[in-house]
Amino acid sequence: MEVIAEEKTVHEANDGDYVQYLIVSNHHHPLSNSIMSSISRVQFRRIDKVTPDDIHAADLVFIVDNGFDEVEFCNFNKKLVQKRDQFRLAFCLCHSHRNRWYTSVDSVFLTKGDAEQRNIINGLIESIELQGMICVDFADIYSVFCNMKRSFYYHGISEGKWRSVGAIDDAIEKRSFECKTAMVILLSGLEFTLDDFEMAANYFSTKIPEDTCCVFAHRLDPDRLYEDRFEVMIFINE
């Protein structure tokens, strides 16, 4: 297994280290309180209101397709084709909608609903914007999703002595994966240690092929600074 952390030749975010985000959705997608300080760099647009300039200004575009009609999709896709230097992720609720995004975005999630979509979007923005013991940045996340086709999201929680392993088991149960890239983000309070991190990394590495490029990261959760509970977000990419 190859672990990616830095020194990647990937798309560079504009405006120094400040990533610009665009969320395209016909429904309201609230951000978590912990990233409200970044709200000035997050643009929200309905699909029929997006302009080429909106797309061009963004480093990371989230497209939430919860039922765009064919006219909306075609008009928006023409704008995407004109501006192809962004990192783009799409979220769909059905296979037919997922298939239509393959040529326009870096990767597509087939999700269970609005709540899961919000968790993924907030989780990725938080991982770029907030600090942890082992941090990732925009380039690390881009390297995991760039030019993939399908992405899968798993979420788990555990506490106690074996919490890092337990959180992974809670997320993926007994699954193993055949994937090209993966990312594991551990969320915890101040009780987190490097032993916890190494245990999680070593355990998860048994679930994926040896040649999988994998990013491991940790982020402090401001809502549980003094708890011993661990949360994990796992992204699998094909």
Please check whether residue 168 is in contact with residue 232, taking contact to mean a CB–CB distance below 8 angstroms: yes
Label residue 57 exposed, middle or buried (CB < 10 Å: 0-12, 13-18, 19+): middle
Strand residues in the chain grouped as ranges (E): 2-3, 21-25, 42-45, 60-65, 87-92, 107-110, 150-158, 181-188, 213-220, 230-237
* Backbone phi and psi for residue 164, each to the nearest 5 degrees, phi listed first: -70, -40
DSSP per-residue codes, 90-114: EEESSHHHHHTTTTTSSEEEE-SSH
Going by C-alpha positions, the residue among 221, 232, 121 that lies closest to residue 170 is: 232
pTM of the model: 0.87
Query: Residue 222: what pLDDT?
Result: 74
Which pair of structure tokens corresponds to residue 203?
A: 């355990």
Give the residue among 11, 5, 15, 101 at the shortest CA–CA distance from 62.
Answer: 101
> pLDDT by residue for the chain (238 residues), tens digit each?
554 443 333 344 544 468 999 999 998 777 777 777 778 899 999 999 999 999 999 999 999 998 999 999 999 999 988 766 789 999 999 888 899 999 899 999 999 988 999 999 999 998 898 877 888 889 999 999 988 889 999 999 998 888 999 999 999 998 889 999 999 999 988 888 889 999 999 999 999 999 999 999 998 887 777 788 899 999 999 8
Q: Where in the chain is the domain with CATH 3.40.50?
A: 21-129
Q: What pLDDT score does 8 carry?
A: 34
Looking up tokens 């600074």 gives: 225
Residue type for 173, please? E
Residue 173 φ then ψ, to 5° = 55, -125
- The domain 21-129: what is its CATH number? 3.40.50
Fold of 138-237: 60s Ribosomal Protein L30; Chain: A; (3.30.1330)
